[in-house]
Amino acid sequence: MITLQDPIDMHIHLREGEILKNILPFSAKYFSACLAMPNLKIPLTDTNKALDYKKEIQHNAQELNCDRFSPIMSIYLNESITKDELLKAKKADIRILKLYPKGATTGSENGLQEILNQKTLEIFEIAESLDFILSIHGESNGFSLDREFEFGEIFKQIAINFPKLKIIIEHLSDRRSIDLLHQYENIFATITLHHMIMSLDDVIGKGLNPHHFCKPILKTPKDRDAILELALSGDEKVSFGSDSAPHLQSNKLKQNGAAGIFSAPVLLPKLCEIFEKYNKLENLQKFISDNAINIYKLKNIPNKKITLIKEKYKVQDSIRIDNDFIVPFLANEELIWRIKD
């Protein structure tokens, strides 16, 4: 038996409407808090939009009787953000800005064309002075496997010029990014389950698997192993962020293959399996909760204990949404830990 205190997912796509309603149980029942990403169809570019979305999530959570679940909100960084807007966000307890380079991933059409210009530098300065956290989808538009590495220069520039601004390398996927955590006091990271256990071969090695296609793209076995090792170590600069990103099957097959892995249904059982396999269960609590509470200075975490028991079961093959469906990560595979209801 394993008991986890307040599991927290610091990077999740909960979507809206019918998809939100159908996928929220996987997070709201088993996690105490989740950082909801702002790349919705209408991106959450200001406080009001983020607060409306928070209400939508909370309403759905209440319908599920999940009263002990805190959505943590973020604002989609854009050049029109002002100091007043950030002051307003802060009053509403929103302290995270999410930076998407334009065109880097799903829902990044409204992202930044140029990451470092006069306007963005001004925003970073205000963000630093108001104690915001800057979460970054760090990818260039170069060769797929080098995109995160190439973005490293920008991480460095921001870290050096704004030493009090906490910067998060979201979904760290390239082993060459790990050095940045050690070189710069103000650089942190989130790590996904899928980057800990898969490589590019899981996307293209035995036929094309669209359900393993995500951004940043899965990399080499060496990258995977280094990321796994970092997560297992419980390093205090790293917290868990699933980047669970559901897409309807029709969109996985159309739209040039939508990027995103829907991992929410398997997260805690699979993490227990991995940490147990490598004899690092003592670090799981840090990775799944404690580090996030410290890095993001999270308050009012609802105090929820989640217990997992050793019991085999098969992951469901799909989740129906109207006339379509979503395929979860590890569909039809056997898990050995089960969450006790």
List active site positions: 243
Contacted entry of Zn ion, ligand NCD, none for residue 105, CB cut-off 5 to 8 Å set by kind: ligand NCD
CB of 104 to ligand NCD, least distance (A): 7
Contacted entry of ligand NCD, Zn ion, none for residue 60, CB cut-off 5 to 8 Å set by kind: none
Cα distance between residue 70 and residue 64, in whole Å: 14
Contact by Cβ (8 Å): 60, 95: no
Classify 256 as helix, strand or coil: coil
CB of 178 to ligand NCD, least distance (A): 20
Contact by Cβ (8 Å): 40, 52: no
Nearer to ligand NCD, 66 or 214 (CB): 214
CA distances from 309 to 229, 268, 340 (A): 24, 11, 6
56 is an interface residue for Zn ion by CB under 5 A: no
Contacted entry of Zn ion, ligand NCD, none for residue 106, CB cut-off 5 to 8 Å set by kind: ligand NCD
> Any residues with CB less than 8 A from the CB of 194 and at least 6 apart, and which?
212, 214, 218, 243, 261, 263, 329
Task: Enumerate binding residues for ligand NCD (CB under 6 A).
Answer: 13, 39, 105-107, 137, 214-215, 243, 245, 259-260
Contacted entry of Zn ion, ligand NCD, none for residue 260, CB cut-off 5 to 8 Å set by kind: ligand NCD
Judged by CB under 5 A, the number of residues near Zn ion is 1
243 is an interface residue for Zn ion by CB under 5 A: yes
Tally the residues of the chain: 341
Residue 316: both structure tokens together: 């469901």
CB of 62 to Zn ion, least distance (A): 25
CB of 223 to Zn ion, least distance (A): 18
Stretch that binds Zn ion, among 14-22, 23-31, 184-192, 242-250 (CB under 5 A): 242-250
CA distances from 265 to 67, 113, 219, 339 (A): 19, 34, 23, 11
Q: Which residue is nearest to Zn ion (CB)?
A: 243
